[in-house]
Every structure is written in structure tokens, then in C-alpha cells.
Chain A
Amino acid sequence: GDSVTQMEGPVTLSEEAFLTINCTYTATGYPSLFWYVQYPGEGLQLLLKATKADDKGSNKGFEATYRKETTSFHLEKGSVQVSDSAVYFCALSAGYSTLTFGKGTMLLVSP
């Protein structure tokens, strides 16, 4: 079945550091790929998405590129802020009915 593997956290960074959160997937067909973010005490929000190979999703300074050859969708940001502290979920959808989520990676950014 479909699956998503994320790097375990927490990831601890200082403000303005470079961020990478690794995500790889296993799926049949050509899934759409997503990053969702969950701030403390809130529900998940879509951060960015890519629907086909080589697409780059971007939002709020975050980027991720759909790499079919390596089945990856790594999240990057050039300079993190304290306000980026949250849990980040990589997800894929191979059909209408559901998203398959990774286990989540907690990011902690200190001033």
C-alpha cells in the first residue's frame, strides 16, 4: 500500500538557519504530494503541494520539489523563524478518497 516516511524529530534550529525535512514515499501510480503544517493547539493547514513530477510547490518561503526518480518531496526553507515552530506532515494522495500522512516532524526554532 501507499506509505510516507519522514525524518524523525524534533529538528532543533536557531533562527535564520537552513531547514530540510526529508520525505520519501511509496505509491502506485502518480500521486499528488503535500506538506501540511500543524501549529500548537490547531488543526492541520496545507503548506504547499505538487501534483506531478518535477513540480515545485512553494509558500511562505518553504519549497519542495516532486522528485519521481528518488520518490522524494523534501521540504526546505532558507531562513527559519521562531514562528515556524510547528509539526510538519508530508502526505500523498493517489486517489480522490484519502490522504496518506507521514508521522510528522516537529520543528523547534530558537531565537
Chain B
Amino acid sequence: EAQVTQNPRYLITVTGKKLTVTCSQNMNHEYMSWYRQDPGLGLRQIYYSMNVEVTDKGDVPEGYKVSRKEKRNFPLILESPSPNQTSLYFCASTGRGGATNEKLFFGSGTQLSVL
């Protein structure tokens, strides 16, 4: 089954404690992206990757890091989480046509709370 898998589904942490949210897709997609969803703000892109070892900033990259060492994986790293990073996070992927021409496949989301 084609899918984007995020883990964990829920995460509660404390300020400053490094964490990683994993994302994996089984569709051999070139393009992967991270979004955060906040009430009243919709979805905003954090980082994206067009292929292995190619990453770029989205609209709200501050406080986040990503890496793309393998095609299937695109982890999101919070080196020193802060309460304003409490949010619902989604990973998404799509094929060679990119976001313009192909549909994005979304993971089920990671609800992060930073205390």
C-alpha cells in the first residue's frame, strides 16, 4: 500500500530537549516536504527536498533542520524545541512532477506539544 509514515503520532516534550520526527515513504518519490498546521493559519511549509541531498527552506524554517540522505526518508529535527513549536506536523511526498502537477501524499500527522 502506498503511504507516507510518520512517527511518533503524539509527542510531549520539554523546552530544549532535542527531538526527531521521522517520515518515510514507499512510493520512490523524489519530492518530500514538511508542513506545520496551526489554528487560524492553515498549513505552512517548513522545509522541502527535491531529491537526495537536496533540501531548501520553506516559509517557516526557523528552529528546524532536515536531512535527506536516502530517498525514502526525510526526518524533521528540532535541536532545541520551544513552546511556539507546539503544532501539528505533516510530512508529504510526491513524484517527479512535483507539487504543481502531482498530488501530494500526506502522512497522518504528528501532534507535538513543547512544555
Q: Identify the A interface with B (CB < 8 A).
A: 31-32, 34, 36, 41-46, 49, 51, 89, 93-99, 101-104
B106 at the A interface (CB under 8 A): yes
Chain A's interface: helix, strand, loop or mixed, by majority? strand
Size bin of chain B's contact surface: 20 to 34
Residues of A within 8 A of B92 (CB): 43-44
Contacts A44-B90, A44-B104 given; indicate if A99 touches B42 (C-beta within 8 A).
no
Query: Shortest CB–CB separation between residue A37 and chain B, in angstroms?
Result: 11
B99 is contacted by which of A41, A45, A96 (Cβ under 8 Å)?
A: A96
B101 contacts A32, C-beta separation under 8 Å:
yes
A103 contacts B42, C-beta separation under 8 Å:
yes
**How many angstroms between the C-alpha atoms of A93 and B33 in the bound complex?**
14
**How many angstroms between the C-alpha atoms of A97 and B31 in the bound complex?**
8
Query: Shortest CB–CB separation between residue A60 and chain B, in angstroms?
Result: 14
Residues of B within 8 A of A98 (CB): 33, 45, 48, 58, 99
Q: Identify the B interface with A (CB < 8 A).
A: 4, 31, 33, 35, 40-45, 48, 50, 56, 58, 90, 92, 97-101, 103-104, 106-109
Residues of B within 8 A of A89 (CB): 42-43
A32 contacts B41, C-beta separation under 8 Å:
no
B31 is contacted by which of A32, A43, A51, A96 (Cβ under 8 Å)?
A: A96
Residues of B within 8 A of A51 (CB): 100-101
A32 is contacted by which of B45, B90, B100 (Cβ under 8 Å)?
A: B100
B42 contacts A104, C-beta separation under 8 Å:
yes
